[in-house]
């Protein structure tokens, strides 16, 4: 069970400052070694939200229980609620007569699985940015994000190996990225920061942050899993999940099913689609 504290308590004062200032957080030990090994052993192929040929009945959430567990990790869900959730909606839910665990006030938008980042990868393109992949804001003690990514590294990424990088603070920029900086295969300017991680770490970043993939120089492979979340009423992709496609799994809780709902208002008193028949 998740705790019933308000979302503000999920982030320390230091984490709140760091995310507001830099646009990302590294959460150590978000996954256990056993969970990392399970993900590696059940990973089947790359997955992208824009692959129209992909049959969702064969997507990552059907590969194994661990992929569905990633939807609602106790180590991350309170942080996601604080960064992305609707505090007004959560307040109404936690003060209602309904004693069941409150549902998340955000949703899973899409999943990316990168398995093609071995030695010799020359680098990707810097992308994202304010007004491109989602707004960012902080008002009245609450964060607002249009799209939020959780990156799970499955292998060590040391500072000089490559991997995820960003321009810290660019989520607040009002000026477009200089075109000459965009292609990381042609050079990396000093403002681009390399973010190292070890298996079990989760890198949470707003898609308003300018980010990309550095050239990979290590002999080891690099596989990365991205779960990307949006506010409950908004979506980046048009290919929505449907909770009805996952009710057959015993491990799917109301919380997990609610995260797979299409964007909607989730107004008070609304009949909730995720409620399991057994309840």
Which domain does 233 fall in, by range? 8-259
Residue ranges of the chain with per-residue pLDDT less than 70 = 1-9, 49-57, 90-101, 116-122, 130-134, 158-162, 218-220, 267-279
Is the CB of residue 68 less than 8 Å from the CB of residue 61? yes
Does residue 159 lie in a domain region? yes
The string of DSSP letters for 150-170 reads EEEESS-B-TTT-EEEE-TTG
At 278 the pLDDT is: 52
CA distance 246 to 267: 23
Within a domain: 276: no
- Number of independent structural domains in the chain: 1
Residue 221 is predicted with a pLDDT of 72
Phi then psi for residue 69, to 5 deg, are -65, -35
Cα distance between residue 265 and residue 206, in whole Å: 22
Residue 122 domain-assigned (yes or no): yes
In terms of Cα–Cα distance, which of 173, 79, 69 is closest to 128?
Answer: 173
Tokens of 6: 């308000």
pLDDT at 114: 82
Q: Residue 24 falls within a domain, yes or no?
A: yes
* Residue 203: other Cβ atoms inside 10 A: 24
Residue 72 domain-assigned (yes or no): yes
Closest CA to 240 of 111, 80, 105, 138: 111
Residue 6 confidence (pLDDT): 40
Whole-angstrom Cα Rg for the chain: 19
CATH number for the domain spanning 18: value is 2.60.120.620
Q: Considering the domain boundaries, does residue 264 fall inside one?
A: no
> Tell me, what's the pLDDT at 102?
79
Own/partner contacts of 84-88, CB < 8 Å, gap of 24 or more, are 84/143, 84/145, 84/148, 84/229, 84/230, 84/231, 85/7, 85/231, 85/232, 86/231, 86/232, 86/266, 87/6, 87/7, 87/8, 87/142
Asked if residue 267 belongs to a domain, the reply is no
Q: What is the pLDDT of residue 182?
A: 93
Question: Does 145 reside within a domain?
Answer: yes
Residues 6+ apart with CB under 8 A from 6: 87, 90, 91, 94
Instruction: Please give the pLDDT value at position 3.
Output: 42
pLDDT of residue 260: 95
Alpha carbon 210 to its chain centroid, in Å, reads: 15
pLDDT score, position 55: 60
């Amino acid at each position: 069970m998740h705790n019933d504290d308000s979302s503000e308590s999920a982030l320390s004062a230091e984490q709140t400052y760091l995310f507001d200032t830099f646009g990302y957080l590294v959460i150590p030990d978000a996954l256990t070694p056993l969970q990392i090994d399970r993900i590696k052993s059940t990973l089947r192929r790359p997955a992208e939200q824009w692959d129209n040929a992909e049959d969702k009945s064969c997507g990552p959430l059907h590969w194994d229980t661990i992929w569905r567990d990633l939807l609602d990790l106790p180590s991350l869900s309170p942080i996601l609620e604080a960064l992305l959730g609707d505090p007004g909606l959560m307040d109404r839910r936690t003060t209602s007569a309904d004693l069941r665990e409150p549902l998340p006030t955000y949703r899973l938008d899409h999943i990316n699985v990168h398995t093609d980042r071995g030695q010799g990868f020359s680098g990707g393109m810097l992308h994202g940015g304010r007004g491109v992949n989602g707004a960012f804001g902080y008002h009245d003690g609450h964060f607002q994000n249009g799209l939020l990514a959780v990156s799970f590294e499955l292998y060590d990424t040391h500072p000089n190996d490559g991997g995820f990088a960003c321009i810290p603070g660019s989520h607040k920029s009002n000026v477009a990225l200089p075109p000459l900086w965009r292609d990381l295969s042609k050079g990396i300017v000093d403002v681009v920061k390399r973010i190292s991680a070890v298996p079990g770490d989760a890198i949470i970043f707003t898609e308003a942050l300018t980010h990309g993939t550095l050239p990979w120089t290590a002999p080891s492979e690099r596989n990365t899993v991205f779960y990307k979340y949006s506010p409950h009423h908004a979506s980046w992709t048009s290919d929505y999940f449907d909770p009805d496609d996952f009710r057959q799994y015993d491990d799917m809780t109301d919380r997990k099913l609610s995260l797979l709902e299409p964007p909607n208002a989730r107004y008070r008193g609304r009949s909730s689609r995720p409620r399991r028949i057994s309840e």
